[in-house]
Amino acid sequence: MSEKLWIFDTTLRDGEQVPGCQLNSQEKIVVAKALEELGVDIIEAGFPISSPGDFNSVVEISKAVSNPIICALSRAVEKDIEVAADALKYAKKGRIHTGIGVSPYHIQFKLRSTPENIIERGIRAVKYAKSFVEDVEFYAEDAGRAELPFLAKIIEAVIKAGATVVNIPDTTGYCLPEQYGAIIRYLKENVSNIDKAIIATHCHNDLGMATANTIAGVQNGARQAELTINGIGERAGNTSLEEVVMAIKCHHAIPVHTNIKTELIYGTSRLISKLMNMPVQPNKAIVGRNAFAHSSGIHQDGVLKHRENYEIIDPKEVGVHESTIVLTARSGRAALKYHLDALGVELEGEPLREVYEEFLILADSKRDIGTKDLLSLVGKFMDGS
């Protein structure tokens, strides 16, 4: 049996930071329940110090959800940690996620501090969080651009202070997969107590690498992945939950499994898109409208002969009823026949060829060919007109 990859969903925290995506507490509860149903292990429910609304949402989600760990974000600041702990008071399993910037940019220009002071603040934050909850995750913000010996030093120190999970964010989405994987490997090889904590990936998508980086992290030893539904999040977004989960399911060489009920993926994606008023791009992997739509004649013929000729995932596995064979001017006869058969009109040979020719003329002038168009084409043919 492969090792478990803990799925940490941050749709309600990092995802919800997107302008225009804000949810009220009731909507957040609906999302949290859907995430619980989907099988995520940890729900990052919010950043309680940031607003009374966020505080209240963490409280209400803690009451409404029982299986996943409920996580609350805080900076490495005492007041943040106290408020996070307070918001988690009803959680059956609560986790405080605290941390600080670790790259030269963050240390010098954001925190105006020194590496030594950053380590001290990290240790203090973890110890303080530990006085409220057993489960404390430390994030090393901007780890993707950190100096590796320093990163290893602070990670070793916070694990010693009691961190149960160490999160290695590529906050700016800067890394290439090989680089991100090498950071995780470096920590595995250079942090003496690394086996006492779970390493988490947390990747952003500024270069479109978030999923690839997350997978590289997992292949190099990370055992928690921080993800959002539909990949929503700051700027170009976070790693998509659906992409990571299905990549793992498709590739047995990745030595982990998840508890996600994949057949609930599509419904969850649509729920988030609707509530957050955030459309899913049509060509989005796994959940986009075109993810299982075939439009060129060669592909349509191939997929109708054998689904796996052009599909690596059975759409049912992610909750999509069936693949679609889209009728366009690039469609072949096999696609037309498929649609006519579905309408109960069985044509073969010369009659099919004639209808197909008329269909091509129509498809060149019209973007969407629907049932009405098909019936009219066949009707004309049947009438001999």
Contact positions vs ligand KIV (CB under 6 A): 14, 139, 141, 167, 169, 171, 202, 204
List the single partner that 121 binds among Zn ion, ligand KIV, none, CB under 5 to 8 Å by kind: none
The residue range among 8-16, 265-273, 327-335, 368-376 that interacts with Zn ion, by the rule CB under 5 A, is 8-16
Q: Are 130 and 165 in contact (CB under 8 A)?
A: no
Of the pair 25, 50, the CB lying nearest ligand KIV is at 50
- Position with the least CB separation from Zn ion: 14
The residue range among 13-21, 44-52, 57-65, 83-91 that interacts with Zn ion, by the rule CB under 5 A, is 13-21
Q: Count the Cβ atoms, other than its own, within 10 Å of residue 318.
A: 23
Does 243 engage in binding with Zn ion (CB under 5 A)?
A: no
Q: How far is the CB of 174 from ligand KIV (least distance, A)?
A: 11
Does 142 engage in binding with Zn ion (CB under 5 A)?
A: no
> Where does residue 322 rank: exposed (0-12), middle (13-18), buried (19+ CB within 10 A)?
exposed
Q: How far is the CB of 2 from ligand KIV (least distance, A)?
A: 26
| Residue in the block written with tokens 């004649």 | 297
- Residue 55 CA to residue 241 CA, distance in Å, equals 25
Nearest to 170 by CA among 253, 95, 234: 234
Under DSSP, is residue 239 helix (H, G, I), strand (E, B) or coil? coil
Q: Are 228 and 201 in contact (CB under 8 A)?
A: no
Q: What are residue 169's DSSP bridge partners?
A: 202
Of the pair 14, 242, the CB lying nearest Zn ion is at 14
The residue range among 12-20, 42-50, 68-76, 115-123 that interacts with Zn ion, by the rule CB under 5 A, is 12-20
| Cα 20 versus chain centre, distance | 19
Q: How far is the CB of 40 from Zn ion (least distance, A)?
A: 16
List the single partner that 28 binds among ligand KIV, Zn ion, none, CB under 5 to 8 Å by kind: none
Report residue 377 as tokens: 């084409």
Of the pair 94, 169, the CB lying nearest ligand KIV is at 169
Q: Kindly report the three-state secondary structure assignment for every residue of 160-172.
A: HCCCCEEEEEECC
Of the pair 174, 356, the CB lying nearest Zn ion is at 174
DSSP 204: B
Of the pair 28, 97, the CB lying nearest ligand KIV is at 97
Q: How far is the CB of 202 from ligand KIV (least distance, A)?
A: 5
Of the pair 14, 243, the CB lying nearest Zn ion is at 14
Q: How far is the CB of 139 from ligand KIV (least distance, A)?
A: 4
Nearest to 240 by CA among 198, 276, 272, 274: 272
Beta strands in 142-270 (DSSP E): 165-170, 198-203, 224-227, 256-257
Q: How far is the CB of 202 from Zn ion (least distance, A)?
A: 6
Under DSSP, is residue 22 helix (H, G, I), strand (E, B) or coil? coil
Site residue total, Zn ion (CB under 5 A): 1
Does 14 engage in binding with Zn ion (CB under 5 A)?
A: yes
Half-sphere exposure of 231 (CA within 13 A, CB side): 27
List the single partner that 139 binds among Zn ion, ligand KIV, none, CB under 5 to 8 Å by kind: ligand KIV
The residue range among 7-15, 129-137, 289-297, 330-338 that interacts with Zn ion, by the rule CB under 5 A, is 7-15
Of the pair 171, 214, the CB lying nearest ligand KIV is at 171
Of the pair 172, 328, the CB lying nearest ligand KIV is at 172
* CB proximity list for 265: less than 8 A, separation 6 or greater: 38, 241, 242, 245, 246, 286, 287, 318, 319
- Residue 54 CA to residue 155 CA, distance in Å, equals 28
226 backbone dihedrals φ, ψ, rounded to 5°: -100, 125
List the single partner that 60 binds among ligand KIV, Zn ion, none, CB under 5 to 8 Å by kind: none
Of the pair 203, 325, the CB lying nearest Zn ion is at 203
Q: How far is the CB of 76 from ligand KIV (least distance, A)?
A: 11
Q: Are 230 and 18 in contact (CB under 8 A)?
A: no
Give me the residues that bind Zn ion (CB under 5 A), please: 14
